[in-house]
Every structure is written in structure tokens, then in C-alpha cells.
């Protein structure tokens, strides 16, 4: 939580650090700025209005994409690929500490005619329903979901950015307060504040800027139907679609053996397993077993959420995708400190926009 700083001051801090790291002057060197925000999380209509100054974007091209941070990265990529920018900046943030009734705001995202007015409970009932269906369809054991929370919160103990790290066992997680069964509170990530800024550049420019470059090899995003009742709750279609686009762009044939690490969506514990399968990192129904055997541990064959994920660090609303990306970028640069995975060369990042959406994005990164 950051009560001492306003959202804009927080963004200025993050942007200043990013520009310093990239060695650029935003007033001269940047041709496009992209922000990812949603009005109701900010409490302002047209949040775009309050973005330029603190990013150095006054009288520069700045736009707002109302979506997850990775889709913002994709937008910046398209700006660079179309030639309209050589250097583009992407920013997203969460200032959840400013929001007093986040649960109601989340409910406000539900269909106003069919859902919002008739169901007066914590909106995470939708996650509970999805989890129940996923467990049934995939045959995943209930305790495997709990293990996701255990793994991620334990990983987070080594992450200096983490707020919700903890050393727990499966039993404690399973017995924690139910949110919307079968989902429990310890398996439901909690929001924190942060602002994350990335500087992207064309290949030509990047080579001049420094030796810490991380490359985006492929990026894809997709949305499933907003009509919740029409979805296949058991399978994350939007992840599969987004991933296939990213893999195609990066020329990846067998994702399961391609990556050294993955930072995937774990807004709710079951989401990590469901996403792993839709990302084709594990066969359908096998993610739980692989988790149990340690494949996804920090020292496993494919570390998933070595950073601690949203469960361990905290959830960042629209900036969650950028958070996953940040953790992966630090790994690929060899700057992950005690979290460092040795010889990290190829990373997968994936995010989801949260309830009640079925929109997600995937990016393939390498150094």
C-alpha cells in the first residue's frame, strides 16, 4: 500500500527508474506512450487525462488501452513495427489502496441485465464455479490447487517485492476461510499497489541503448465470450488462442520443452494449473501431477511463478501482465537475485484480466 504517494507520483518514480535504466530522455527519445488503465479502478472517468505529465509525455503521442499490460506491450510492439515509433513506453499500475469497495466494483463488471442486479454476493463466486468445473473436467486433485498457493507463497519469501509471502502447508490452505467453495481465501490473490513501466525499442535502436536487452519473440492475446454462461468453464480457451498466436509468431513447435521458466496467471490457485494446460506446457489434466512431482518448483524442470506470482507477491489489476513480464525480464537479465534461475534464456509470460472476463495475453521473451 502506498498512502503517502498519489498515483501520479508513484508513476513518476517507476518511469524515472525505467528511463534511467534504458538511458533515455522521454522528452526527446520516445515517440509513443501506452497506458493500460480502467476508469473504475482509478475512480476517474477518462483516466487517460491524468497520464502524460508524470511519464514525460506532455505534447507527445500517448494513448490508453483499456486492457491488461501485456496487450499494452503488444500495442507498443505494433507501434514500433509499423514505423510510427522507434522507442515506445508502456505503463500500467494498481492503486488499489485508493479503492474502498473493490468487490462491488468487480461486480459492476458483470452483465447489468442478467447478472449484476440479481446476485448479491462476493463476485468471486464465478471463480468458485469455474474451479469446480476445472477440477471435474481435468481430474485435477483439490489438494494440487492448494499446492499452487503453497509453492508461490513460499517462492515469494525470496522476492523483495512480495507482500503476501508465507510459509504454509497444503492443510492450512485447504482449511482457510472459504471464499466461494471450493475456492479458499489463501488461494485467492490479494491486491497491492505498484506502477510498472517498460521501455521498448526497435531492434536497431535497442542495440544502441544497452546490453540488457530482452526480446519479445512472440505475442498474442484473445477474448472469449463475455456471456459467462456460454463459456467452457473447465478449459481456458482464451489462453490457448492467445498462446497459439504467440507461439506461431515465435516459431515454437513444442512449448512444453521450449522454455526455461514461465510466469503465468495465478490470480486464483486453480488458474495456474488451468493456464499451464492451455499453454500446452502440460497435457490436459496433467498439470496437477507435474506440480506434485516438483516439475514447476523453483529448482524443477520448468519453474512456474518462481517470483511468487500474484498469490505470493500480490495482485496488480491491469498491471498484473506487466508484473509477470517484469519478473521474467529480471530473470533473463540475470538480475533476479536470490530468485535467479540459472541459465535463464527463454521465458513465457501469460496474464488474465480477471473476473468476469475471459481475456488474456501471452508473450514469449528471450535474451
Chain positions 276 to 315 lying near other proteins, rule: CB under 8 A, are none
From 75, 6, 7, select the one nearest 35 (Cα to Cα). 75
Distance (Å, whole) CA 241 – CA 26: 35
From 195, 189, 193, 11, select the one nearest 95 (Cα to Cα). 193
The one segment of 54-62, 179-187, 286-294, 295-303 that binds other proteins by CB under 8 A:
54-62
Q: What angle do CA 296, 299, 303 make, to 5 degrees?
A: 35
Considering only 182, 220, 288, 321, the residue that binds other proteins (CB under 8 A) is 220
- β-partners of residue 351 are 361
Nearer to other proteins, 147 or 325 (CB): 325
Under the binding rule (CB under 8 A), the answer on residue 51 touching other proteins is yes
> In which residue are the cell numbers 489434466 written?
285
Cβ 93 to other proteins, closest distance in Å?
Answer: 12
- Return the C-alpha cell found at 49: 487525462
Nearer to other proteins, 106 or 180 (CB): 106
Under the binding rule (CB under 8 A), the answer on residue 26 touching other proteins is yes
Neighbours of 285 (CB within 10 A): 15
Under the binding rule (CB under 8 A), the answer on residue 25 touching other proteins is yes
Cβ 135 to other proteins, closest distance in Å?
Answer: 25
**Phi-psi label, residue 139: left if phi above 0, alpha if psi -120 to 50, beta otherwise:** left
Cβ 216 vs Cβ 187: under 8 Å:
no
Cβ 366 vs Cβ 332: under 8 Å:
yes
> In which residue are the cell numbers 512472440 written?
218
Nearer to other proteins, 106 or 279 (CB): 106
Under the binding rule (CB under 8 A), the answer on residue 321 touching other proteins is no
Distance (Å, whole) CA 134 – CA 325: 26
| Contacts of other proteins in 169-188 (CB under 8 A) | none
Distance (Å, whole) CA 137 – CA 121: 26
Considering only 21, 122, 232, 237, the residue that binds other proteins (CB under 8 A) is 237
Considering only 117, 167, 175, 293, the residue that binds other proteins (CB under 8 A) is 117
Considering only 56, 288, 303, 312, the residue that binds other proteins (CB under 8 A) is 56
Nearer to other proteins, 52 or 334 (CB): 52
Sheet of 32-36: strands edge to edge? Answer: 32-36, 87-94, 194-201
Distance (Å, whole) CA 140 – CA 286: 7
The one segment of 25-33, 144-152, 303-311, 340-348 that binds other proteins by CB under 8 A:
25-33
Nearer to other proteins, 31 or 176 (CB): 31
Nearer to other proteins, 211 or 230 (CB): 230
**Residues that contact other proteins, how many (by CB under 8 A):** 83
Under the binding rule (CB under 8 A), the answer on residue 223 touching other proteins is yes
Element (H, E) at 180: strand 178-180
10 Å CB burial of residue 175 (0-12, 13-18, 19+) is exposed
Cβ 23 to other proteins, closest distance in Å?
Answer: 14
| Contacts of other proteins in 57-116 (CB under 8 A) | 57-67, 71, 74-75, 77-84, 95, 97-101, 104-106, 108-109, 111-113, 116
The one segment of 135-143, 214-222, 289-297, 306-314 that binds other proteins by CB under 8 A:
214-222
Considering only 265, 319, 353, 366, the residue that binds other proteins (CB under 8 A) is 353
Considering only 133, 141, 212, 245, the residue that binds other proteins (CB under 8 A) is 245
Cβ 14 to other proteins, closest distance in Å?
Answer: 12
Indicate the pairing of strand 261-263 with strand 346-352.
parallel
Cβ 2 to other proteins, closest distance in Å?
Answer: 7
Amino acid at each position: 500500500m502506498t498512502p503517502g504517494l498519489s498515483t501520479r507520483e508513484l508513476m513518476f518514480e517507476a518511469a524515472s527508474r525505467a528511463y534511467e535504466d534504458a538511458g533515455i530522455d522521454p522528452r526527446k527519445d520516445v515517440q509513443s506512450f501506452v497506458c493500460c488503465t480502467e476508469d473504475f479502478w482509478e475512480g476517474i472517468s477518462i483516466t487517460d487525462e491524468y497520464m502524460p505529465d508524470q511519464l514525460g509525455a506532455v505534447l507527445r503521442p500517448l494513448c490508453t488501452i483499456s486492457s491488461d499490460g501485456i496487450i499494452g506491450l503488444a500495442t507498443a510492439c505494433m507501434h514500433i513495427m509499423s514505423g510510427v515509433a522507434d522507442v515506445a513506453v508502456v505503463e500500467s499500475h494498481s492503486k488499489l489502496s485508493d479503492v474502498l469497495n473493490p468487490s462491488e466494483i468487480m461486480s459492476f463488471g458483470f452483465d447489468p441485465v442478467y447478472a449484476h442486479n440479481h446476485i448479491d454476493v462476493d463476485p468471486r463466486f464465478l471463480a468458485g464455479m469455474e474451479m469446480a468445473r476445472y477440477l471435474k473436467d481435468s481430474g485435477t486433485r483439490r489438494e494440487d490447487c492448494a499446492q499452487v498457493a503453497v509453492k508461490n507463497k513460499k517462492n515469494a519469501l525470496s522476492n523483495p517485492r512480495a507482500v503476501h509471502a508465507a510459509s504454509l502447508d497444503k492443510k492450512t490452505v485447504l482449511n482457510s476461510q472459504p471464499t466461494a467453495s471450493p475456492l479458499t481465501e489463501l488461494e485467492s490473490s490479494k491486491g497491492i499497489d505498484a506502477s510498472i513501466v517498460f521501455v521498448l525499442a526497435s531492434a536497431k535502436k535497442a542495440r544502441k541503448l544497452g546490453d540488457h536487452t530482452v526480446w519479445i519473440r512472440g505475442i498474442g492475446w484473445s477474448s472469449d465470450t463475455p456471456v459467462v454462461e456460454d463459456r467452457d468453464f473447465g478449459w481456458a480457451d482464451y489462453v490457448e488462442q492467445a498462446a497459439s498466436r504467440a507461439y506461431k509468431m515465435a516459431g515454437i513447435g513444442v512449448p512444453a520443452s521450449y522454455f526455461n521458466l514461465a510466469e503465468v496467471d495465478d490470480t486464483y490457485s486453480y488458474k495456474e494449473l488451468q493456464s499451464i494446460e492451455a499453454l500446452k506446457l502440460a497435457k490436459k489434466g496433467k498439470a496437477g501431477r507435474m506440480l506434485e512431482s516438483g516439475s514447476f518448483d523453483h529448482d524443477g524442470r520448468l519453474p512456474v511463478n518462481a517470483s511468487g506470482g500474484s498469490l505470493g507477491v500480490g495482485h496488480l489489476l491491469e498491471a498484473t501482465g506487466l508484473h509477470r513480464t517484469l519478473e521474467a525480464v529480471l530473470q533473463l537479465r540475470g538480475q533476479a537475485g536470490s530468485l535467479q534461475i540459472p541459465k535463464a534464456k527463454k521465458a513465457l509470460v501469460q496474464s488474465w484480466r480477471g473476473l468476469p472476463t475471459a481475456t488474456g495475453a501471452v508473450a514469449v521473451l528471450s535474451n
